[in-house]
């Protein structure tokens, strides 16, 4: 983290950021750069991965759009402000957002404000859902509380660092990524942690043991996949049901399968109509991962999205979170190099996920057949 004077930071036009309100998982805040682009804190390993991502994997990952320097400061009223200063080549292949679009994003965002005693809270009514949110319990919300809580936590940390430093800003490097949810009117999002192994080779023993324990106590050890976050649009109330990663860790295998069913329930009907296309996309991803013989996507996640709007059947499936991805060496000696062949843990998780979705679809088709028979007999 670097501290810079305002006069040193004002030479390049800045773009105001807002919280990315469709972030359902993760442990650090993501921000919205424009309608089609989000900012994520730069992790060197993830940055390197995006620089050399295999062509066959690009359709299954968010598009990488460069880097920005993000600056944080508090204005005279105590509002936390976040601005991005793009690098000159950051958005060469991506159209820049106009001032009207930026203003629209800022108007709809939840702002954070610091009081004189250092307390950080939400400045408008949209933050009320976060106040009601209880960790590990599903909640009915207008905006999922996970992204707002992460922003508040970040703001509190920054406020402590800014105390006593007038006219100083704090800057950090962020990567710019495609906003996968941008084309969805009411994005229903399923964030899944994939694989049986979550730790990286470079993790400390303490961190490694913590990740091993989380896998053993969750569906990761049995299914190679666990729920990390979920929001499902409810058409009858015009709100979202949100489930966090703490709930995901507690689920049994049966409860996990039930959660997958709940993902397609919009409060008035079940959106199993989008399932065939999701399954087709997952099967294509399986073939792709199976052909990547030296990659390990440890602690990586899978994002599944469909549109909660009944007028839309849009879906998307993307791999995210590559901070612990490993590319093995060229040797085929499994003794000296354990990262040979495809990522079997990730593939196992995909296989279990596909099987579960197929089961949901088969059960739904069976129910429809029984209803048709009953109607015929009547």
Ordered by start, the domain boundaries in the chain are 15-88+108-178, 187-372
β-bridge mates for residue 139, sequence order? 242
Distance CA 145, CA 134 (A): 10
Amino acid 163: pLDDT: 67
Pairing of strands 31-34, 37-41: antiparallel
SS3 content of the chain, % helix, strand, coil (to 5): 35, 25, 35
* Average pLDDT by stretches of 10, the chain with 378 residues: 44 80 91 94 95 96 95 80 73 46 47 70 64 85 87 79 66 94 97 92 87 92 96 95 96 97 94 97 98 93 96 96 82 56 95 97 80 60
Residue from 52, 33, 62 nearest 316 by CA: 62
- Asked if 152 and 130 count as a contact pair (C-beta separation under 8 A), the reply is yes
The H or E element that residue 287 is part of is helix 275-291
Written as six digits, the tokens of 105 are: 């994003």
Residues in the chain, total: 378
Which token pair is 27? 């442990």
- Say whether 167 sits in a helix, a strand or coil: coil
Taking a C-beta distance cutoff of 8 angstroms, is the pair 196, 345 a contact? yes
Give the per-residue pLDDT at 7: 40
DSSP count for the chain of H helices, then E strands: 11, 18
What are the strands of the beta sheet with 225-234, ordered from one edge?
A: 139-141, 239-243, 225-234, 187-194, 301-307, 315-320
Architecture (CATH level 2) of domain 187-372: 2-Layer Sandwich (3.30)
CB 62 within 8 A of CB 178: yes
Which has the closest alpha carbon to 158: 109, 120, 116, 111? 120
Residue 367: CB atoms within 10 A of its CB come to 12
Q: Where are the alpha helices (DSSP H) in 118-204?
A: 128-132, 145-162
DSSP category for residue 23: -
For residue 203, the model assigns a pLDDT of 82
Residue 126's pLDDT is 60
For residue 335, the model assigns a pLDDT of: 52
pTM of the shown model? 0.87
CB 286 within 8 A of CB 293: no
* CA 294 to chain CA mean position, Å: 25
Closest alpha carbon to 61 in 188, 175, 166: 175
Residue 194 has what pLDDT? Answer: 97
């Amino acid at each position: 983290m670097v501290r810079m004077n305002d006069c040193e930071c004002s030479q390049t036009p800045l773009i105001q950021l807002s919280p990315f309100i469709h972030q359902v998982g993760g442990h650090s805040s993501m921000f919205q750069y424009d309608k089609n682009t989000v900012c994520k804190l730069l992790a060197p390993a993830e940055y390197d991965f995006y620089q050399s991502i295999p062509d066959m994997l690009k359709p299954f990952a968010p598009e990488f759009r460069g880097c920005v320097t993000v600056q944080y400061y508090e204005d005279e009223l105590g509002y936390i402000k976040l601005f991005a200063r793009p690098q000159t080549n950051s958005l060469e292949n991506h159209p820049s957002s106009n001032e009207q679009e930026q203003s629209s994003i800022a108007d709809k965002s939840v702002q954070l404000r610091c009081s004189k005693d250092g307390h950080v809270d939400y400045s408008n009514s949209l933050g009320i859902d976060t106040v009601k949110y209880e960790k590990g319990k599903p909640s009915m919300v207008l905006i999922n509380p996970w992204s707002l809580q992460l922003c508040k936590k970040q703001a509190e940390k920054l406020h402590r660092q800014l105390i006593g430093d007038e006219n100083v800003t704090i800057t950090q490097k962020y990567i710019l990524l495609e906003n996968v949810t941008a084309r969805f009117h009411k994005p229903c999002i399923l964030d899944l942690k994939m694989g049986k192994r979550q730790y990286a080779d470079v993790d400390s023993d303490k961190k490694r043991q913590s990740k091993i324990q989380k896998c053993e106590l969750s569906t990761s050890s049995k299914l190679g996949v666990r729920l990390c976050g979920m929001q499902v649009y409810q058409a009858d109330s015009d709100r979202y049901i949100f489930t966090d990663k703490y709930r995901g860790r507690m689920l049994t295998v049966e409860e996990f399968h039930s959660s997958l069913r709940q993902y397609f329930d919009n409060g008035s009907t079940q959106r199993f109509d989008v399932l065939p296309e999701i399954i087709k996309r997952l099967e294509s991803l399986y073939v792709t991962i199976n052909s990547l013989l030296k990659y390990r996507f440890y602690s990586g996640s899978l994002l599944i999205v469909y549109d909660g709007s009944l007028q839309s059947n849009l879906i998307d499936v993307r791999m995210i979170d590559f901070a612990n991805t490993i590319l093995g060496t060229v040797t085929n000696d499994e003794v000296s190099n354990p990262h040979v062949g495809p990522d079997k843990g990730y593939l196992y998780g995909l296989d279990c996920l596909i099987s579960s979705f197929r089961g949901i679809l088969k059960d739904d088709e069976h129910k429809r057949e029984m209803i048709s028979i009953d109607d015929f007999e009547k």
